[in-house]
Chains A and B, each alone.
Chain A
């Protein structure tokens, strides 16, 4: 349908190359027609910019006003979507509105969560016991992200960092160094606390790991990659990530396997409230925390210096 509009533009050129349309079709089928000389498919150079003529729809917009049309279309789409979503929210159940069938799951979590999982922090119980498979997936999302960043940014032999890219080097700033020196021990301690108390109080692997990762980034900013590299070198990064994820994968697989097969699990729940309680939640929080810390730090290093 849109092709028809295209035809007048290309027809004269086609005709120049190979006579009438009918004969060029015949030639096309007999491959006497040199495809490269045809005007319709873009030559290699014009293919470089944006897919050329073959990119449908957008390229059909007249060249004089593409940005405007694009912006207008984008605005219309956004407005329509926003309006629809607002309308939807308006129709959603009100907060706290009584709908018995909607509360079955949450009610169970709140009333029996602590008893069944041993975690005082119900959220930790939900994400690491009830819905542990999702959380296993989430930690692999992080692993996947850091793998992709390594693949994309890792400086390799072929292309090193371009010379003209200069990052602001803050590692000689005295004020920054002193401040970081004063803060970082507290940051690490807080991170470890959040990590280890994830089953007792708000926090857990993801938040604690993010705090520790932020601490590592601070060290790296203030003292340079050499110093932070002594804490987390590439070797340490790999060992920690691999061990933590393997532990998570195998440990949780054990729970899933025993649970699904109705076997007795050797992991007990302990007394809720004790530091050593809630079964696998504590070690899993530590494992998740390490993965998160390494991911945060690793991604920062890749964006900063493209190496550890």
Chain B
């Protein structure tokens, strides 16, 4: 066996081991160690992606001396490689970009714990990307839930405890439903490995045995993961959560944690429950409806927000809606659109949170739009980064958001007049709403400030504090967004290849 086939396992193990190590290191050492681990895993993931793409084959990896179906197993194909690479890149950049805020927001004694939790999130994401076993998926789902609560409440500021509690309750509801679903899958098929459950489900679907348990199981799993991902109407934790956490936490939670759940859901649809079994088709249609509602209402709430973080958070609810619309549309086109959006939004949202935090900092630590006026003049780099991300969210060509909308439009035209009309109309309305609030924000930060405090001064106060970490992260994210916008075909062809390997 080629050595490179160990890399998926190494990705998980490196993060787990460095989580343990970080808990006893001094804060500075823990930070350096964590960034090193994130970089190493990014390299591993990129190698796996390249390897699976160049050989055109997926591979399985037995966790131990026993063959399937007796033991746990990992599996890596192009899609797993894409997800792992995307997740580790976003994790690394979000961590580097928000490091100065982490240092300021979190007590020094707890910084090592913060690094530990980030490592655990990384391990969970890698495991969710690569696992071929439903129960392993559940175990790492729990690690992800707990550690995301940890990185939320580690900042002692105002509402974080409330936000974390709310996040915890909704997430545990999702976990509970997913666990029930997993148990029922085991009960009706006798397996936990995805292919074997998949084969069992296909048989049951054909024969019609255990129809009620099968339907309920699929419903529970879909509902559980959709709740955890924050699909409307279970997005109510988002504004407080993203609004009060330290920027790195917001970036990690919105950029990758919710995406990890969705990736697992897509995996289950393709490899466990079957995309086109009767029950799954029904479940996908329901997800589609909630996705459409989420897109519109998320945007409406975002427009009504009085401060920046909250607006970005509500726009997340809308963007998660897009992914579920893609899943609901189904077919290769629909899933390609959904997964493209998963990566594109994962790259854009952290940049919004990080540059937004910088803009707020140069406006006297205020997230209120009134105070943000002219922020882009006080800090030009952050303003530029925010504008790139905001325009991408709107869907301006040459940025990552444009191909997303294009793919959704393409995916929608194969589904008859009603779905077609609803999807296209929603896309149009949502683009309009996005443009209204994002471009308005961009204009606001570029409008010279008229606040009384600064009227007396003849010049704009330029925020000169240097933040090399944020600069690196912003350049990285912006490059990724632009290259996705200019060459969308490269990613979408990877996704299509990956989806064909999935089945």
Interface set of A (CB-CB < 8 Å, partner B)? 3, 28-29, 31, 34-36, 38, 40-42, 48, 51, 53-58, 84-85, 87-88, 90-93, 99, 101-106, 108-109, 116, 129-134, 136-138, 140-141, 143-145, 147-148, 150-152, 154, 156-159, 238, 241-242, 245-246, 249-250, 253, 255-262, 265
Contacts and interface: CB of A to CB of B under 8 A. Distances in A.
B16 interface: yes
A265 B65 CA distance: 9
Contacts of A136: 16
Closest 9 CB pairs of A and B: A102-B190, A41-B306, A137-B139, A133-B72, A259-B65, A91-B212, A148-B150, A133-B63, A259-B64
A163 to B, nearest CB: 19
A249 B139 contact: no
B468 interface: no
B430 to A, nearest CB: 15
Contact of A256 (B63, B117, B212): B63
16 contacts: A31-B440, A31-B444, A101-B200, A102-B189, A104-B69, A131-B71, A133-B63, A133-B136, A143-B120, A144-B117, A151-B110, A256-B9, A256-B13, A256-B64, A260-B6, A260-B9
Contacts of B5: 260
Nearest to B439: A29
Given A36-B368, A141-B143, A261 B150 contact: no
Contacts of A148: 117, 146-147, 149-150, 153
B135 interface: yes
Given A41-B306, A91-B211, A260 B1 contact: yes
Contact of B116 (A104, A147, A158): A147
A204 B81 CA distance: 37
Contacts of A87: 212, 216
B17 interface: yes
Contact of B213 (A92, A147, A245, A249): A92
B6 A147 contact: no
A105 B143 contact: no
Contact of A54 (B6, B146, B310): B310
A40 B233 CA distance: 21
Interface stretch (B38-46, B296-304, B339-347): B296-304
Contacts of B304: 40-41, 53-54
Contacts of A85: 180, 216
On chain B, which size bracket covers the interface? 35 or more
Given A93-B188, A132-B64, A144-B117, A31 B447 contact: yes
A259 B62 contact: yes
**Majority secondary structure of chain B interface residues (helix, strand, loop or mixed):** helix
Most B CB within 10 A of own CB, among A54, A55, A58, A108: A54
B13 A249 contact: yes
B50 interface: no
Given A3-B300, A148-B146, A260-B1, A88 B213 contact: yes
A159 B156 CA distance: 10
B127 interface: yes
Contacts of A261: 1, 6
Given A56-B233, A102-B189, A137-B136, A130 B370 contact: no
A48 B158 CA distance: 9
B401 to A, nearest CB: 21
B23 A242 contact: yes
Contacts of A238: 23-24
B273 interface: no
Nearest to B161: A152
Given A92-B184, A105-B191, A54 B239 contact: yes
A63 B296 CA distance: 26
Contacts of B69: 104-105
Label chain A's interface by main secondary structure.
helix
Contact of A31 (B23, B236, B297, B373): B373
A99 B184 CA distance: 15
Contacts, number: 219
B210 A91 contact: yes
Q: Residue among B65, B142, B154 with the most chain A CB within 10 A?
A: B65
Given A36-B306, A88-B213, A261-B1, A147 B23 contact: yes
- Pick from B69, B139, B217, B300 the residue with the most CB of A within 10 Å: B139
B455 interface: no
A195 B121 CA distance: 30
Given A87-B212, A144-B120, A151-B150, A156 B233 contact: no
A305 B297 CA distance: 45
B190 A103 contact: yes
A69 to B, nearest CB: 15
B324 interface: no
Given A140-B143, A144-B143, A156 B107 contact: yes
B487 interface: no
Nearest to A89: B213
Contact of A92 (B142, B188, B239, B310): B188
Contacts of A150: 113
Interface of B: 1, 5-6, 9, 13, 16-17, 19-21, 23-24, 61-66, 69-72, 107, 109-110, 113, 116-117, 120, 123, 127, 133, 135-136, 139-140, 142-143, 146-147, 149-150, 153-154, 156, 159, 180, 184, 187-192, 200, 203, 210-213, 216-217, 233, 236, 239-240, 297, 300-301, 304-306, 310, 314, 368-370, 373, 436, 440, 443-444, 447
Contacts of B135: 131, 134
B216 to A, nearest CB: 4
B20 A143 contact: yes
Contacts of B233: 56-57
Contacts of A241: 20, 23
Contact of A259 (B21, B66, B314, B436): B66
Contact of A48 (B61, B159, B368): B159
Nearest to B20: A245
B1 A29 contact: no
A88 B306 contact: no
Contacts of A151: 110, 113, 117, 150, 153-154
A55 B70 CA distance: 47
Nearest to B17: A249
A210 to B, nearest CB: 18
A137 B127 contact: yes
Contacts of B184: 88, 92
Contact of B216 (A34, A84, A154): A84
Nearest to A53: B304
A159 B65 CA distance: 51
A35 B1 contact: no
A51 B235 CA distance: 13
B329 to A, nearest CB: 23
Contacts of B211: 91
A104 B252 CA distance: 41
A261 to B, nearest CB: 5
A282 B497 CA distance: 44
Contacts of A93: 187-188, 210
A91 B146 contact: no
Contacts of B113: 147, 150-151
A48 B469 CA distance: 33
